[in-house]
Amino acid sequence: MPDPSIKPLVMPKWGLSMKEGTLSAWHVEEGQTIVPGQEIMDVETDKIANVVEAADGGLLRRRVGEIGQVYPVKALLGILAPEDVSDAEIDAFVSAFEVPAAGDDDEDEGPAYQFAETASGRLRYAERPGEGDPIVFIHGFGGDLNNWMFNIDGVAAAGPVYALDLLGHGGSAKAIANPGLDALADAVEQFLQAVGLKGVHLVGHSMGGATASAVALRGRDLVKSLTLIGSTGLGEEINSSYIDGFVAAESRRDLRPVLKYLFANEDLVSRQMVDDLLKFKRLDGVSETLRGLASSMFRNGKQKRLLVQKLQASTLPIQIVWGAEDAVIPAAHAKALPKAKVEIIDAVGHMAMMEAAGRVNELIRAHVAN
């Protein structure tokens, strides 16, 4: 049996399709003591590059991963162990370490796609089992559940995690009879019923924030708390260049500049991200759905459905998170609800849950625990 005080640092799995990643930098030295949440290395996949934060704390005894090398998910990259563990024991741990085979369906492998049949249509979702009240992630306009690739595992300690593709998005049914916030909220409510979820903590991003709010405001004991990230529904302004540009873009050339509005760090817009979004946008019916949603909710650069008063009047615990550099919806909207707990994160854009994943995960875990 290996010494339980030896803890491996492994290649993370970001999103369901990630099989391997390149270790592009170490931020910690051997002999350094690291704390949970500390930035320890940079990893790059074909879709995105991001910093990896420590899940465990301890003394970094060994950097196994070499910079520039490609490693499969769960491959050993480093060793945390107290000083009294001998080098020989660490050597033995390293040589005995086996990378779990890709595609193993054990719980550690992270979520797998599932489908819920609802009256609105088939909805795709991912599930990460756990103990406690369920946490349900709802992405924004034009997004999908993989927008939460850095969060699903990151909040799993706080409860079972679900992330769904909104109606008209991702792998869910594309047609929406009356495109608008109510249709999206209907589908989410039907999803919660179909999967048997009650008393959930909803986490919504952008249009998914307004959708989460609309579901919560229906009462019915479905929702225990709200975390709204760069959410719509809290103020009038919205960047119409982003919305209209996203809807109209038909090529890589059109779409790439539009996606740069999403991040404070524009380098995060990878070719693969652009290609994946084009693949989605080119599916029959998607253009009509996006046009329908945009004209129902965001016509002429103004948000048409504001939920501020109803949210302020509700008894729900609400947390609002915003990237200070948000170029799609101004961060000033974070202060629209006097009752809410507000966190504005510096140097981060609209996709705060990707650009500041560690901080956002921490905030969600804390909000859910209260």
Partner 1 sequence: MARKISMKDAINEAIDQEMRRDPTVIVMGEDIVGGTGSPGETDAWGGVLGVTKGLFAKHGDRLMDTPLSESAYIGAAIGAATCGLRPIAELMFVDFMGVCLDQIYNQAAKFRYMFGGKAETPVVIRAMCGAGFRAAAQHSQMLTPIFTHIPGLKVVCPSNAYDCKGLLIQSIRDNDPVIFLEHKNLYGHESEVPEESYAIPFGEANIVRDGKHATIVTYGQTVHRSVDAANALAKEAIECEVIDLRTLSPVDMDTVIESVEKTGRLICVDEANPRCSIASDISATVAQEAFGALKAPIRMVTAPHTPVPFSPALEDIYVPTANAIAEAVRKTVGGTRKAA
Contact set with partner 1 (CB under 8 A): 113, 124, 171, 174, 250-253, 271, 275, 279, 282-285
Query: Of 98 and 284, which CB lies nearer to partner 1 in the complex structure?
Result: 284
Query: Of 284 and 346, which CB lies nearer to partner 1 in the complex structure?
Result: 284
Which H or E run contains 210?
A: helix 207-217
33 C-beta neighbours (distance < 10 Å), count: 12
Dist. CA 314–CA 219, nearest whole Å: 9
CB of 270 to partner 1, least distance (A): 9
Give, as one character, the DSSP assignment of residue 268. G
CB of 155 to partner 1, least distance (A): 26
CB of 123 to partner 1, least distance (A): 12
Specify whether the CB–CB gap between 334 and 342 falls below 8 A: yes
Specify whether the CB–CB gap between 67 and 24 falls below 8 A: yes
Query: Of 53 and 144, which CB lies nearer to partner 1 in the complex structure?
Result: 144
Dist. CA 230–CA 327, nearest whole Å: 10
CB of 129 to partner 1, least distance (A): 22
CB of 274 to partner 1, least distance (A): 10
Specify whether the CB–CB gap between 124 and 114 falls below 8 A: yes
Query: Of 156 and 255, which CB lies nearer to partner 1 in the complex structure?
Result: 255
- 77: tokens are 């990259």
Give Cβ neighbours of residue 48 (< 8 Å, ≥ 6 apart): 14, 149, 268, 270, 272, 273, 354
- 207: tokens are 């249009």
Q: Of 121, 168, 116, nearest to 280 (Cα)?
A: 168
CB of 218 to partner 1, least distance (A): 29
Residue type, 363: L
User: What is the pairing mode between strands 39-44 and 49-53?
Assistant: antiparallel
How distant, in Å, are the alpha carbons of 98, 213, 214, 302 from that of 233? Answer: 48, 8, 9, 10
CB of 271 to partner 1, least distance (A): 6
Give, as one character, the DSSP assignment of residue 315. -
CB of 114 to partner 1, least distance (A): 11
CB of 281 to partner 1, least distance (A): 9
Dist. CA 137–CA 184, nearest whole Å: 14
241 C-beta neighbours (distance < 10 Å), count: 14
Query: Of 182 and 250, which CB lies nearer to partner 1 in the complex structure?
Result: 250
Query: Of 198 and 252, which CB lies nearer to partner 1 in the complex structure?
Result: 252
Give, as one character, the DSSP assignment of residue 166. P
User: What is the pairing mode between strands 135-138 and 200-205?
Assistant: parallel
